[in-house]
Structure formats: C-alpha cells, structure tokens
Structure 1
Amino acid sequence: MGQKFLRRMLCACMLAGLLFFSSCGGGSSGEAAAAENTSHRESVQQCRMPEASGTVVYGEEPWLLDASHTEDGYVMVSYSGSADKIKVRITYPDDTQYIYPMKLGEGAQTFPLTGGDGSYTIDLLEHTTDSQYAIAFSQEISVKLADEFEPFLYPNQYVWFTQSSKAAVYAKQLSDQASDDLNFVELVYNYVIGNITYDQALADSAPTTEYIPDVDETFTSGRGICFDYAALMTAMLRSQDIPTKLVVGYSGEAYHAWISVYLEEQGWVDNVIEFDGKSWSLMDPTLAANNDSSAVKKYVGDGSNYTEKYCY
C-alpha cells in the first residue's frame, strides 16, 4: 500500500468519524437476546495460529522466508539485520502488489496470501535513504490453498491475535452466549460499534505506510481509526473460526477499511449495513459505530459504492 494511498485512507476515516459520530450503546440488546436463546454455538477452544515450521525455508540470515504453510494461506518472514526499516512486498497471481511494514526485533511475522492459488513473488525490502528501499531478497513461490477460507481464518500482520489476546478471550465469551454463527457475528458487531469510538487525533498523527493496527490496544482503549475497527472485528471473528476478510478500498471516492464475513447459510456477506435478524448488510463497523442508520445508508447507498482494492 503506497504512502499516498494510506494517507488518503486515514483522512477518509477521519471524515467518516466527523460525519457520523454520536453516542449509543449497541451491545446490550444483542447480549440480552443471546441470553434468551435455548441453543448454543459450539465455541472454538483454541484459535488457529501460524507456525514457522522450517520445512520450506528460503534465504539466509538476516533474511528468512518460511513457506511451510502456504496451503493455509500465509508465509512467515524474519529479519535479524541492522536496517532501521523493513518492508515485505507480495506480488499476487493477478500482479496486484501488497506492501507491509515489518516490526523490528519481533521474530517471524505472518503475511497473508489472499489472492487464491497461483504464483506469488515475495520481495524483502531494506530501507536505504529517505523513502527509498532496496530489494534484499526475492523469491517466487507456488501456492495451492487447502480451501478458499484458509487465509481468512489466521492472524496476520494487520490482524494479529493469540488465544490469550483480550479480544480473543472476549470473543469466546460472546460465542458462549451465542445460539449460532449468525448470532455470534451479531454480538461481535454490536460490541465493536457500541464500544469503540473514532480517534481523530490518531487519524491526524498516525504514520502513513508504517501503520499496523494493534487489536488489543483498540479493545482496551476503546478508540481507533477505521483500520482498527475492521482489524478488531476481524480478529474477534477469526478467533472463533468465522472466515473474515479485512478489506481496504473505495467507499465512493474515499479510501476506507471494512470487513466481509462468510456464513454457511448465506455465503460472503458484503452488501448491506444493518442486521435484520435474517440478513446482513455491508459489514463496516466504522460507519455503523454510534451512528444514525439513515445517515449511514445515505452515504453507503446499497453497497455498490464500495470497491475492494486490498484484502487482508
């Protein structure tokens, strides 16, 4: 994701918060409804975690690319060199390029392969000067996914969680209350839109291409930008084995982040904005959070204003 792209996205999020922010409490009614249910969802006891197994490894120190689990829709990269900034660039089978910042000194980190089966090129980039980066290592890999949902069930660089993450622990509590997957998604959705408020100061100051959502920080502080809203809800749902896409793209002419959720009864849910007990609309927790639904619908329309550019 380029610097200009993310800057525009952050500005769009700030505008969305200014346009649609007001107070409400969305979580309690959903939780009460769940309590009345006689059937219960079978909660996931252990969320999926990526592994750098070392069975398929490319490169040499300071760069290592672990491609042991490409069938699960991810690779892992580790760096032990002295560069002050590192990025990972992944070129998808359709030639779309994704560029991720790496966190220094944190060991192997997980990067998703969300472009389906085919040939991917992984470039590892070291900062040289100003905004310039040089390719330190490059590797082409062939990917055959176990199924289409695998990349959307694991933690990754932008959606990181573990079993002990606060967001995952609370997600399990909500799952334990839920009657089924649909009800669980409702509870998570209502929790996020009712408890997270838009952080204009962060939107103004967040580094552009270096920004990485921190799911537990958002959960604890109750504040974030659109990327944080979407990452938090994605993490909570994935931790309970609900395939979830974190999407970045256009909302009309503005850049924005939202999510799409897969439900067995309905397939990928990505077209509307409200839950009516049977169907969902566009799963955009930023625009739904603490907002008057009529104002949101006027902005979003029927969902056709949304155009996906990146999917994490």
Structure 2
Amino acid sequence: MFKKMLAMLFIAVVLMALPTGAYAAAEPYVIDRSSLDKGIITIHYTGNTDTKAIVRITKGDDTSDYNLANGARYPLQWGNGVYNVLIAQFISDNKYRVVGQERIELKMTDANEVFLQPIQLVDWNGKTRAVAETAKLTEDAVTDKEKAEAIYSYITHTIRYDNEKARSVTTAYLPDLDTVYDTAEGICYDYAALFAAMARSQHIPTRLVMGYAADAPDVYHAWNQIYLQDSGQWVTIDTTYDAARVQKGQAPEMIKDSADYTIAQIY
C-alpha cells in the first residue's frame, strides 16, 4: 500500500569500509545502552547532520536499515544474542562510508518487551494524541483482546486511506502520529504505526510488520501482529484493508489468517 522503495527501508547501499581502527579515535556517535534491557538502543550522532546517514542493524541473517536521526531509538527485535550496529554516511549515488560499528550483546528476560517501546518507526509518548484517545477507548476493556478490539474499531471506522500520499511519499518518510490522528488520513505505514503505538501504550506487545498480503501480492504493505497473553500467541491484524471494508459497511474479522501474509521485516 505504499512505495516499495520506501517501505523496504533496507537501503541498497555499497558500504565503503574504512581501514581497521580508522574511526576509533574520533567516533562521531554515541550508542546509548541505557534501555538495552528493553531491547532498545539510542544513537546520538555528532557528525555532519546535513549529510544523510544510515544505521544498519544485523543479527545473523537478519538485517534492517534505518535513516539515522540524532537521538532516535532503534530496536534489537530478533531476540537475545549478538548484534552488529553499523553507522554509515552518504557519499554519492548509493555509496556510503562506514564511520563506525559496534557489537552489542542482548540479554533480555522478556523478548516481547522490545515490542512495547517507542522506536523511530513507532514514535509515541504519553502526550501523543492517539495515546490519550486510547486510554478513553479502553477504559472498560479487561483483556488484551478487548483493548485491541477497541483500538481496531476506532482506526477502521475513523482513518481513511490517502491515495495521494501513497503516490507522493518519499523514502525518508516516517509516520507523524499526531498528524495522522488530526487529519484522520494515512497510508498503510501510518495505519500500522498508529495501531502499534496505541496498543503498546496499553502494554500489549505489538509488532509493526512489512511485507506482502495475499490480496495484493505485488504491493508492499504494512500491518500488525499483537501478542495475546491469554492464549500466548501472536495474531495478525490489518487495519488498512479492514478500514476500507468497514467504511463500505462490511464487518470483517479482526484477526487474520497469518498464512495470507508474507513477512519481509518486523519492527
């Protein structure tokens, strides 16, 4: 439901490595590990902020690329183990120069804790307007499923798909949740980030997932998975496609068949 070149966020880059130790003396960044117990690192960058830079996080065969923003929070979402965090600065075309990299060992008690946190792609706090709305929506809900249903109902009835935005969105785009809430419009990335923030604010582990849905196998898409404590299972929710159905008077089931979705990335 949005441009594949944006959605991937895995920027196809050629990384130009520096000689060993070349960036050790004056690293232009600091990796803050104070939230590592929650699976989160924060990068403080002192390099040239006028020049594009990326963060590449790798664990085994899993890799995610992010645009670097000073003070942004990045997830280590693939469970315990050793991660490599690489920071590279744009040179030209698709070439980047590595300015630093570090190995980080993650040892979490609860692997789902990372999916409760604000991150660069799901940027929320207690003042986020949708989060305040969530407290009202869920005040009578008891179980995680009931809370998720209240959030799902709100989004699918309220947020309308923005076709113009889908055509014009750039590779640097990140959802602004207050804007999505105020305008009641967005693309699938917005729907999924909004749902994730609202559910995470209610202590429901929630993933923002990107990949492909069976209904549109050639269109890069974003949706969610939530962890239901009662059943101990991750279930699939797609507010984007269901909003279109609900707004046409249909009544789709909230929980989808995960087999109808092909996952490329989880955040």
Q: What is the percent sequence identity of the aligned residues? A: 34
Structure-2 residue corresponding to 1:127 = 90
Structure-1 residue corresponding to 2:127 = 164
Query: Which of 138, 151, 154 is residue 191 of structure 1 equivalent to?
Result: 154
Structure-2 residue corresponding to 1:142 = 105
Q: Distance in 2 between matches of 1:303 and 1:63?
A: 39
Question: Would you say the 8 A contact 1:260–1:268 is kept in 2?
Answer: no
Question: Would you say the 8 A contact 1:9–1:256 is kept in 2?
Answer: no
Q: Does 1:234 align with 2:201?
A: no
Q: TM-score, normalised by structure 1?
A: 0.72
1:179, CA displacement in angstroms?
3.4
Aligned Cα RMSD in Å?
2.6
Deviations 1:158-209 (A, max 9, x none): 001011111111111122232332211111001111111111111111112x
Post-superposition, which runs of at least 4 consecutive aligned residues in structure 1 deviate over 4 A? 7-10, 58-61, 292-297
Query: Which of 229, 243, 251 is residue 289 of structure 1 equivalent to?
Result: 243
Higher relative contact order (CA 8 A, sep 6+): 1
Which sits farther off after the overlay, 172-181 or 153-162? 172-181
Q: Does 1:311 align with 2:266?
A: yes
Structure-2 residue corresponding to 1:6 = 5
Deviations 1:39-88 (A, max 9, x none): xxxxxxxxxxxxxxxxxxx9855311112332211111011222421211
Query: Which of 30, 50, 58 is residue 64 of structure 1 equivalent to?
Result: 30
1:305, CA displacement in angstroms?
2.3
Q: Distance in 2 between matches of 1:163 and 1:8?
A: 27
Q: TM-score, normalised by structure 2?
A: 0.83
Give the number of aligned pairs.
Answer: 244
Q: Distance in 2 between matches of 1:268 and 1:124?
A: 35
Structure-1 residue corresponding to 2:58 = 91
Q: Distance in 2 between matches of 1:301 and 1:262?
A: 14
Q: Distance in 2 between matches of 1:232 and 1:301?
A: 18
Tell me, what secondary structure is at the counterpart of 1:287? helix
Question: Would you say the 8 A contact 1:247–1:310 is kept in 2?
Answer: yes
1:108, CA displacement in angstroms?
1.3
Structure-2 residue corresponding to 1:22 = none
Question: Would you say the 8 A contact 2:238–2:256 is kept in 1?
Answer: no
| Structure 1 portions without partners, runs of 5+ | 11-57, 271-281
Tell me, what secondary structure is at the counterpart of 2:138? helix
Tell me, what secondary structure is at the counterpart of 2:133? helix
Q: Higher strand share goes to which structure?
A: 2
| Structure 2 portions without partners, runs of 5+ | 10-23
Q: Distance in 2 between matches of 1:59 and 1:164?
A: 40
Question: Would you say the 8 A contact 2:130–2:181 is kept in 1?
Answer: yes
